[in-house]
Amino acid sequence: MPGKYLNGELYRPSHIHYRVTEQNSKELISQIYFKGDPHIEEDPWASQKKASLRILQISPEDINGNLSIHFDIYLQEK
Ligand SMILES: [Fe+2]
């Protein structure tokens, strides 16, 4: 899991920033969060309604102890 860090007096929820580029599509820069993180409600970005589809459920550990998420990214044509 990604770590947490302070943003002023509040901790940001665990998240992963990502940037996706493809020559025929608009660039996408965003971040994903993880369900159950207690810092989501107070975070100015993760608490926005438009972020709700980017708060993802983590699958239980597999037999090797790995965690996983499923997240489809769709790019918009230029
Ligand atoms: Fe960050």
Q: Would the pTM of this model clear 0.85, i.e. be above it?
A: yes
Q: How far is the CA of 27 from the centre of ligand 1 (A)?
A: 18
Ligand 1: distance of its center to the CA of 16 in Å? Answer: 7
Whole-number Å distance, alpha carbon 28 to ligand 1 midpoint, is 16
Q: For residue range 24-41, what is the model confidence (pLDDT) as tens digits?
A: 999 999 999 999 999 999
Q: Is 55 exposed, middle or buried (0-12, 13-18, 19+ CB in 10 A)?
A: middle
pLDDT at 12: 98
CA distance 73 to 68: 16
Instruction: Please give the Cα distance from 39 to 52 (Å, whole number).
Output: 14
Q: Which helix (H) or strand (E) holds 6?
A: strand 6-7
Compute the distance from residue 23 Cα to the ligand 1 centre, in Å.
26
